Amino acid sequence: MVIVIGGAGYVGSHVCKYLGRAGVRVEVIDNLSTGNRSSVLGKRLHVIDILNRRDLDSFFKENAADIDVVMHFAAKSLVSESIDDPAVYYRNNVDGVLNVLDAMHKNNINNFVFSSTAATFGEPEYLPIDENHSQKPINPYGRSKLMVEEVLKDYSSAYGINSVSLRYFNACGADPENEIGEMHDPETHLLPLILQAASGRRSDICVFGRDYDTPDGTCIRDYVHVMDLYQAHEAAMRELITSKKKGAFSYNLGNGSGFSVQEVIDVARKVVAEDNKTIKVIDKPRRCGDPARLVADSTIAKQELRWIPRFAELEVIIRHAWAWEKKVAGL
């Protein structure tokens, strides 16, 4: 059995659905503070806050004999919010994970897959960013994730808890079957913001800066489809179980080729035009702390986890996300 903590959220819900499709028994822990009950899709949901040690310990004690792997997606992830209120981020993203790991240790559960982030790297020193790149996060969100990566190394050495940390670059897209998708409140990710401007759920999309050192002057990011993130989590799970991988391992997850903000808008305009929709764009000055380019080197994940992104084409990513946005918007 796999326990998915944060399985009512964006990436976690996709992982739950498709692990179940692959024949894996999945149960979900989520406090529903940002997750959606409707995204759990028939999996057994335990409404538990990971900051509540008593409830968490009770759950693990009761189910320990059946648990093979624990996956963790229950992080707070808004950079600006982490700057304004870092205590909340360190408490949830670090203390919460410690509570989970301690409950695992007490009950002899030794396999952990952690949802990490490219924000652990900070400003890029070279591109593409590989696992040897220095980690100098520039905000509390990134620092909280890096702290957990360091904790996992120590818990592996001291307690034998084996782990895989998966550092996403820009998660995007939606379930190709259109049952679940991205539902953040507030929404901060570029692609859903663009598509909400097309559906009418917002009036426009802002482009922050057109004077970067890139071909069209807008920032370049590495977009990775949520289904490809699912594939990486399944691969990490199987590696821990079948290969009995020992230690604490970290992998970067991205397509290895970035798309600019303007490229994303251009392809989105092409897709939504098929439904006679348009996208209004407003130009604004640069935001502080936005690097010109962020692109991943995922070579090690491909070699060691045998991970191959299947949905790397930008138009495919946008078509899946647009189908979901139309569903949510009632179009």
Element (H, E) at 20: helix 10-21
62-105 pLDDT, tens digit per residue, is 999 999 999 999 999 988 899 999 999 999 999 999 999 999 99
In the three-class reduction of DSSP (H, G, I as helix; E, B as strand; rest coil), residue 163 is classed as strand
119-163 pLDDT, tens digit per residue, is 999 999 999 999 999 999 999 999 999 999 999 999 999 999 999
The catalytic residue among 18, 90, 141, 155 is 141
Residue 42, pLDDT score: 85
Proportion of the chain above pLDDT 90, given as a percent: 92
Query: CA end-to-end span of the chain, whole Å?
Result: 38
Whole-angstrom distance, CA of residue 198 vs CA of residue 266:
12
Strands 220-221 vs 259-260: parallel, antiparallel or unpaired = antiparallel
Residue 257, pLDDT score: 85
18: Cβ–Cβ under 8 A, 6 or more apart, which residues?
A: 227, 230, 234
Residue 141: active-site member: yes
Residue 78, pLDDT score: 87
Contact 115, 75 (CB under 8 A): yes
Using 70 as the pLDDT threshold, list the residues of the chain that sit under it.
none
Tell me which residue of 221, 20, 239, 19 sits closest to 117, measured CA to CA.
221
Residue 164, pLDDT score: 98
Q: Where does residue 178 fall: left (phi above 0), alpha (psi -120 to 50 degrees), or beta otherwise?
A: left
269: Cβ–Cβ under 8 A, 6 or more apart, which residues?
A: 278, 279
Other CB atoms within 10 A of residue 108 CB:
12
Domains with residue ranges and CATH for the chain: 2-172+223-253 (3.40.50.720), 190-221+256-296+310-329 (3.90.25.10)
Dihedral sign (CA 204, 34, 236, 149): positive
Residue 328, pLDDT score: 96
Tell me which residue of 252, 249, 272, 268 sits closest to 260, measured CA to CA.
268
